[in-house]
Amino acid sequence: MEIFKEFLQKLGDPNQQKRMEELLSWVNRNFPSLEPVVKWNQPMFSDHGTYIIGFSVSKQHIAVAPEYAGINHFADAIEKAGYDHTKGLFRIRWDQSVDYQLLHQIIEFNILDKSHCSTFWR
């Protein structure tokens, strides 16, 4: 995915680059109708111009941001997967595996929940 190339190159750690590339490619493969975009220097995916999910990185983790509604709806599953969260995002430490089944459910939820949304954010 060419659109994320610059973002990935800015990550200093090759392992983090590879992990993020795998994650972003997984979303793209599993949800080909979503548009990959970069806004605020962060990779995101949108549907009909509305935000579905975004990612950012820090030294300790990948932050996955499905907006408040996604966190609220899946809070128990996020905690059960071993991730900590705030009102707007959950964190996957670099030493944790990605729960792709949970991620799939969250993205599907946002696509359906925002199917009639006409703004970028809820």
Q: Could you tell me how many helices (H) and strands (E) the chain has, helices first?
A: 4, 6
Closest CA to 106 of 63, 58, 73, 60: 73
Torsional sign, CA 80, 81, 84, 88: negative
Helix (H) or strand (E) holding 52: strand 50-57
Reported as a pLDDT band with limits 50, 70 and 90, residue 69 is very high
Class of domain 2-113: alpha beta
pLDDT at residue 47 is higher than 90: yes
Residues 67 and 90 sit within 8 Å (Cβ to Cβ):
no
Output the average pLDDT for the chain: 96
Looking at the DSSP assignment, which residues form a beta bridge with residue 8? none
